Every structure is written in C-alpha cells, then in structure tokens.
Amino acid sequence: MINKDFFEALKDLEIERGIPQETMISMMEAALTAAYKKTFGEARSAQVKLIPEKYTIKIYSYKTVVEEVEDPDKEISLKEAQEIKKSYKIGDLVLKEENPKNFNRIAVQTAKQVVVQNIKEIEKKTIYNDIAEKEGKLIVASVRRIDGDKIYLEIGGTNLEGLLTEKDCLPEDRFRIGDKIKVFVRHIKDDYKGTVVQVTRTSPTFVKKMLEMEVPEIANGDIEIVAIAREPGLRTKVAVKTNIPGLDAVGACIGNKGMRINTIINELHGEKIDIINYSQDPKEYIISALNPATVNEVIVNESTQEAQVLVPENKLSLAIGKGGHNVRLAAKITGYKLDVKGEKERAHTNDVVVANDVNIIVDDVDENIFDDIDD
C-alpha cells in the first residue's frame, strides 16, 4: 500500500516546502488511523505506525486487558490475553497487527485528502515561525505593491507581505514598485484574515536598530543606548553611555568625519540626529539634551522633576527648535518639565528671568523614556 516511493516523496516535500519529514509522518499516522477506523468501525482502537527506514507501514488494533469485559471492541479479558502471552496483566495493551491489504483504497484516499488539507496549514505555520524570528528587528524588504496610502512589502522571499502605512512612513519617503527599503518589524499578528506583518520607519527603535547596525560598539555592548526621543522627519535625540574607560561614546556613534551618523541621516532623508552623553547629573544631562543650543544656566528641582533653563537671547529659537521640537525632545529624553527662557536681564527679586515676554514651558515628558525602546 505504501512503498519506497511514498517515503521518498515525503523527503522531497521536506526539501521543497520546508516541512519536516517527522511532522508529515506524524500527521500521516493520525490521518491513516482515522481512515482505518472509518473503514473498520469507529469503536475499534487502532494505531498506525509509519517506519520510513524500512519503507513500511504497520497497522495495529489494540485492546486493554481487564478483569471483566464491558466493551469487546476495546477490551479483552485477562484469561484471553494470557492465552496469547502469559505475561499480560490488568491494564496492559494487547496489540494485534492487521494486514495492510485490508486497508482499502477508499481509506487511503481519505487519508490523502486529510494530508492535503493539512499541508497548507503546516506551510502557513512554517512561514509564520520564520517571519516571527524577525519581529523586533530591522530588515530590508522590497516594495511589492502600493494601494493608496498603504505599501505592501515582500519579506524574505516569502508569500507574506509587510504592511507599511502612511503614518509609519517618513514625510520624505517616496517609494516605487521594486524599491528595497529598510523597515523595523513592529508586530506580527496572526488572525482569521491571515498573517499581518506591521512594519514602520517612524519608531524610535528604527533609529536604534540603525545605530546598532552602523556602530559596532553598540552592537557588542561597549556603548549603551539609554534613551531615545524622536519626532520623525525632524529630529531624534539619542542618549548614550559607556563603561569602557577612554571610549568616546558620542564620537564612536558619529564616526570618522561623521561617516556613521551620516549613513543613518541619509536613510532618514536628512532628519537631524543628536547623539548626547547620558549623565546622572540632571543639569549636565539637560544641557546636553538641548544641543545644539548654548545653555547658560539650569536651575533644577529634582523633587518635582522641573527645571528652568536660561539661554542667550540669540540662542533662544535654537533651543526651542522649529515648532518647539528641540525643547520638546529634550524634555522627553530627560524626563524633566523644562521652562526655557532667553536671558536678557535678571530681575532683582526671586531670580525671575525676563525674556521680553518670550519663554516656553515644556512638560511633554514620558516618565518611561528609559524603557521606551522596543527590544
């Protein structure tokens, strides 16, 4: 019934479709067992075993040894069992090998149908497991098709598509069919509609993964990214630190003549990236976070997580940034509510800073900024 060609076909299936032979054999045994019971009676207990090394199939019916038989299809008395083999005792299974020739063509066809139905499910799970390994990673994918504001990507040569929505694209992103682009695999969801691979280019982690790719010292752990704050298309601030004496964390990330950081900036269409030194001293950290602006003084209230920042009048717009993005990102990455003022003159009471009525208070603070990096 099942010959060498059958088992060779299972090997080919493993090579061509990536379905392990052991998985197919297990599935076949279950399918053939079901087909056997359908042919010879559901009440019978049966087991089918495929033996690939011998290119054979064994079909067994079995009964449980009991003192008193209540179900003749599944039970055998101790006396009858010991007539077969004296060592049988209560609870043992008495197996009887059936002749495969009695396993008719209809039963075999039924088993084949079950296998065909399950092959697609196995392939789906195999592909899903392969792509699941990419979750949380930076990958290169090809643009397969564009439908309105949705871009569908081919991932790793599989039949699965990555979904890149408009909100996950940078403002300057312009793609055409066939373009190869870098994306961060945010989430993989498997539901009744199929597998959806959600990717993005706007997540702070996208920049983190780019840095890991371009800066070996980050990849090997010599430099640690402590926090990232990002406004896609405008600016990203990255706080780094190292425990390696003499290692310039900021310089390593920037690279010789800016080669490393410029590679990332080019990928982001000119989005500015500030690499700053993390410091446990709030004043130092806030000063670094407001880069590229010059800071004259920082007055910190650690209990309320607030700080007043004084900058030269001619640097106020630089400290604030276009639309307030620079000071907003500084607030996010430090965790402090920042009151930034231009220091034109000091009042004589309470150290109030007069700034020609120009000042900005930013409290767009993410208390979990140090955990806001998707790994």
Higher pLDDT, 143 or 12: 143
Domain holding 314: CATH number? Answer: 3.30.300.20
Query: Is 169 in the same domain as 96?
Result: no
Last residue of a domain, one of 101, 132, 163: 132
CATH code: domain of residue 161: 2.40.50.140
Q: Which of 242, 296, 240, 243 is nearest to 273 (CA)?
A: 240
Would you state the pLDDT for residue 358?
Answer: 40
Whether residue 88 sits in one domain with residue 14: yes
- Which among 200, 216, 231 is the end of a domain? 200
Co-location of 246 and 270 in the same domain: yes
Q: What percent of the chain has pLDDT over 70?
A: 83
19-33, 45-59, 353-367: range with lowest mean pLDDT: 353-367
Indicate if 195 and 207 belong to the same structural domain.
no
pTM of the predicted structure, to 2 decimals? 0.65
Same-domain check for residues 196 and 208: no
Q: Which domain holds residue 41?
A: 4-132
3-state secondary structure 319-334: HHCHHHHHHHHHHHHH
Residues 8 and 114 in one domain: yes
pLDDT higher than 80, residue 85: yes
Question: Is the model's pLDDT at 243 over the cut of 50?
Answer: yes
* 354 band by pLDDT with thresholds 50, 70 and 90: very low
Span 95-106, pLDDT tens digits: 888 776 666 666
* Beta bridge partners of residue 140, listed in sequence order: 182
296 and 209 co-located in one domain: no
CATH, residue 72: 3.30.1480.10
In the structure, what pLDDT confidence band is assigned to residue 166 with cuts at 50, 70 and 90? very high
Name the domain count of the chain: 4
pLDDT grade, residue 88 (50/70/90)? very high
Same domain, 105 and 30: yes
Question: What is the mean predicted confidence (pLDDT) over 134-162?
Answer: 86
Average pLDDT in the 156-178 region? 88
201 pLDDT tier (thresholds 50, 70, 90): very high
| 326 & 252 share domain | no
Please say if the pLDDT value at position 351 is more than 80.
no
Mark whether 192 and 213 lie in a shared domain. no
